[in-house]
Structure 1
Amino acid sequence: MDGVPQDDGTAEAQGAQGPRRVVAGKARRVVAGGGVLVVVAVLAYWLGGGRGGELPAAGPSPTPTPSATLTVPDVFKRVGPSVVVIQAGKSLGTGVIAAEDGTILTAHHVVKSTKDIDLTFADGTRAKAVVTASNPKRDVATLKPVKLPEIVVPATLGGAVAVGAPVVAIGNPLGLTYSVSTGVVSGLNRRADRTAKDGDLNGLIQFDASVNPGSSGGPLLDARGLVVGIVVSIADPGGDEAFAGIAFAVPIGAALGGDDGDGPPGDGPQL
């Protein structure tokens, strides 16, 4: 962030004839007309950074806004406490706390086959959970924990993304809890084929951050640490459920009930 402007009295400050010299000129005219030295003292303090005086320092710098770009470690530090390990019968997945009441957003296919759902929060708190809503068409579900950790840290939900934008995925691939991977948005409006019963998934975000079985339901984050998608599947040309550089996420707008899209097929399994 830029510091308080410094006035060295030269023509370079704020340009050869910038606003700073105009204000100083006005101050000199006030002094000549009325001898109001206080005006000069205050003006000199603001333009000179408070050097040589006992006046209070300028106000604190503004705190970073959600629009600020974060490093990957900072993204993990901010969102990691919101990520949850989900064990639903034999299915391992990931979830993200999406509201202050502890509501968890995850992939529907992670929890669809059982009512026995166990959660592990980032602080180690363990709890049972029940499905409160599900949308098989978009492959998203919400869970309500029976017990909450002492401190609930909901993630901040974001909006749209652009092709080429950096993204971060946090999840539990192959049981490696709280794994972080990075990549970019590779494409938008993709489609992933599923069974005739389930129907295809449309309007997906394609990205290349590494994900594997166990990552499903985890958050896809932008460079500001905002949740922009829920991870649901990968492309699997080898048929071995191994990451091949192409993964898909349901956009957060669609996960929350927005419109579906359409696009080229993704042809990948659910994680």
Structure 2
Amino acid sequence: MERVPQEAGAATAQKAAAGRARRFLAGGGALVVVAVLAYWLGGGGGKGEGAVPRPSPTPSAALTVAEVFKRVGPSVVVIRAGRSLGTGVIATEDGTILTAHHVVEDAEDVTVTFADGTRAKAVVGSSNPRLDVATLKPAGLPEIVVPAALGGAAAVGAPVVAIGNPLGLTYSVSSGVVAGLNRTIEKGDLSGLIQFDASVNPGSSGGPLLDARGLVIGIVVSIADPGGDEAFAGIAFAVPIGAALGNEGDGPPGDGPQI
């Protein structure tokens, strides 16, 4: 169980309001829908390398939520790793998938389902437990691979869209705003996070956080869980895409996903 993320020097009232933070975990008890919640397993990650991301062209004007979903939906995948359920986003033209490390941590059997229904086994290509990000290399690909456009800065108050598979409800979309930047989970477990209020739940982990142009600006990894019931309380967190790609942070070169 993890506690709510907080910035250094935050007021006591802010701590109480935020509650405890919890990463979306997999495994555990069965849920009402298709999914099961996740659980944390200890362990480190490996390193891998692959193709350099080649973002597709993006519009310069803001899109509606429906337009963002239409544009990025084909890039989103459902991930099942053992009993864990999560989300991923196609990051390169060779089909490399970016997701959250805890979704696939220690999993021996990983299956991805693409938007067109194509299913394939996948292996972990690279991982970074410190940032909670990983990449997957699928054994098979759909006839048409649609990588998402990566990159874009997050700004407080800016609109965002999240696409994922909360509680097994595949390809769910929600919208909100960036509520804060550079957030840190207590004890320094995760830092530099984007805080947002678009609704996400267990199963959303690893999914893309998108700006109003459909650019992936973060990878969803955590929620605040003051009630300890893994229910969305209006506060969620994502690893900035620059950090997820190894372009930011204080880790040594090569310890992040090399996609």
TM-score, normalised by the number of residues in structure 2: 0.73
Which residue type is aligned with residue 85 of structure 1?
V
Q: Give 1:125 deviation, angstroms.
A: 0.2
Which residue type is aligned with residue 102 of structure 2?
H
Which residue type is aligned with residue 213 of structure 2?
R
Q: Give 1:65 deviation, angstroms.
A: 5.6
Which residue in 2 is equivalent to 1:183? 176
Contact 2:58/2:213, CA 8 A, preserved across alignment: no
Which residue type is aligned with residue 231 of structure 2?
A
Separation of aligned partners in 2, 1:157 and 1:65: 10
* Partner SS state of residue 239, structure 1: coil
2:145 corresponds to which of 143, 147, 152:
152
Which residue in 1 is equivalent to 2:45? none
Which residue in 1 is equivalent to 2:64? 71
Separation of aligned partners in 2, 1:219 and 1:230: 5
* Partner SS state of residue 150, structure 1: coil
Which residue in 1 is equivalent to 2:90? 97
Which residue in 1 is equivalent to 2:220? 231
1:200 equivalenced with 2:189 (yes/no): yes
Identity %: 83
Separation of aligned partners in 2, 1:255 and 1:192: 17
1:256 corresponds to which of 245, 252, 256:
245
Contact 1:202/1:260, CA 8 A, preserved across alignment: no
Q: Which has the higher contact order (CA 8 A, sep 6+)?
A: 2
Q: Give 1:192 deviation, angstroms.
A: 1.8
Moved over 6 A (4+): none
Contact 2:152/2:211, CA 8 A, preserved across alignment: no
Separation of aligned partners in 2, 1:206 and 1:171: 17
Which residue in 2 is equivalent to 1:108? 101
1:168 equivalenced with 2:161 (yes/no): yes
Which residue type is aligned with residue 232 of structure 1?
V
* Partner SS state of residue 201, structure 1: coil
Contact 1:234/1:246, CA 8 A, preserved across alignment: yes
Q: Give 1:106 deviation, angstroms.
A: 0.1
Q: Give 1:158 deviation, angstroms.
A: 1.8
Which residue in 2 is equivalent to 1:137? 130
**In 2 relative to 1, CA 68–127 (structure 1 residues): closer, same or farther, beyond 3 Å?**
same
Contact 1:138/1:250, CA 8 A, preserved across alignment: yes
Contact 2:68/2:214, CA 8 A, preserved across alignment: yes
**In 2 relative to 1, CA 193–109 (structure 1 residues): closer, same or farther, beyond 3 Å?**
farther
Separation of aligned partners in 1, 2:186 and 2:113: 31
- Whose Rg is larger? 1
Contact 1:231/1:248, CA 8 A, preserved across alignment: yes
* Deviation readout 1:72-93 (Å, 9 max, x if unpaired): 1110000000000000001100
Separation of aligned partners in 2, 1:224 and 1:128: 31
* Partner SS state of residue 107, structure 2: coil
Count of aligned pairs:
194
* Partner SS state of residue 133, structure 1: strand
* Deviation readout 1:162-187 (Å, 9 max, x if unpaired): 00000000000000000000000000
Separation of aligned partners in 1, 2:212 and 2:111: 30
* Partner SS state of residue 121, structure 2: strand
* Partner SS state of residue 69, structure 2: helix
Uncovered stretches (5+) of structure 1, i.e. residues with no partner: 1-63, 262-271
TM-score, normalised by the number of residues in structure 1: 0.70
* Partner SS state of residue 74, structure 1: helix
* Deviation readout 1:94-134 (Å, 9 max, x if unpaired): 00000000000000000002120011000000000000100
* Partner SS state of residue 202, structure 1: coil
**In 2 relative to 1, CA 248–129 (structure 1 residues): closer, same or farther, beyond 3 Å?**
same
Separation of aligned partners in 1, 2:127 and 2:186: 19
Separation of aligned partners in 2, 1:113 and 1:83: 22
